Amino acid sequence: MLKPAFSVRRLGQRYDRGEVDALVDRIIAAAEHRPVGPDVTVDDLRNAAFRTPLLGPGYSAEEVDNFLAEAERWLPGGQAAQGAGTSAATPAPGVQPAPLFNTVRLREGYATAEVDEFVERVMATVNGLPVSRPVTAKEIRGIQFSSVRLTEGYDIEDVDLFLDTAEGWLS
């Protein structure tokens, strides 16, 4: 199996090349049945998180995400092994997937802990799961997160776009 050739970007949504390369090497080794470390699992792919390079180039986030979704089919327990299973890229009908936000450091972003807590409540509400305080469309319109600079935060535009979408789900 050939290693994928991801586009290298200096700006925009990108992932740390070293972190991506390490996971891709494990995926290829698992697909070729030649372990080079801990076995990589479908859950590893679905929960993979990579840093965004502070300065300098990184791999195209979209290309890496598409590769990981495709790679699920090659691993034990993946879509091919399960038949009509679901993946992070294709959630079960009627279930909304949790969003992934880009992180920022040098420019203003939203505090990650606050966003994570609120998004968890939003997703539970939208997907009909038990939640202590269901979120309303009105609450989404009025939410304000703390801003951070020089520490890792979520990209403001990404979070705001998600909130617009979530408000539509609840309206």
Assess whether 155 and 99 both reside in one domain. Answer: yes
Contact of 61 with 40, CB cutoff 8 Å: no
Tell me the pLDDT band of 88, cut-offs 50, 70 and 90: very low
Assess whether 111 and 83 both reside in one domain. Answer: no
Assess whether 81 and 101 both reside in one domain. Answer: no
Tell me the pLDDT band of 137, cut-offs 50, 70 and 90: very high
**What range defines the domain where residue 80 resides?**
1-87
Assess whether 78 and 21 both reside in one domain. Answer: yes
- Going edge to edge, which strands form the sheet with 58-60? 8-9, 58-60, 14-15
Q: Which residues of 110-135 are buried (b: 16+ CB within 10 A; e: fewer)?
A: bbbebbeebbebbbbbbbeeeeeeeb
Assess whether 83 and 140 both reside in one domain. Answer: no
Domain boundary among 54, 87, 120: 87
Residue 169's Cα: distance from chain center in Å? 20
* % of the chain with per-residue pLDDT over 90: 22
Assess whether 150 and 169 both reside in one domain. Answer: yes
The tally of domains found in the chain comes to 2
Instruction: Compare 42 and 160 and report the one with higher pLDDT.
Output: 160
Q: What is the arithmetic mean of pLDDT over 84-94?
A: 43
Contact of 131 with 121, CB cutoff 8 Å: yes
Q: What's the residue count for the chain?
A: 171
Instruction: Compare 122 and 73 and report the one with higher pLDDT.
Output: 122
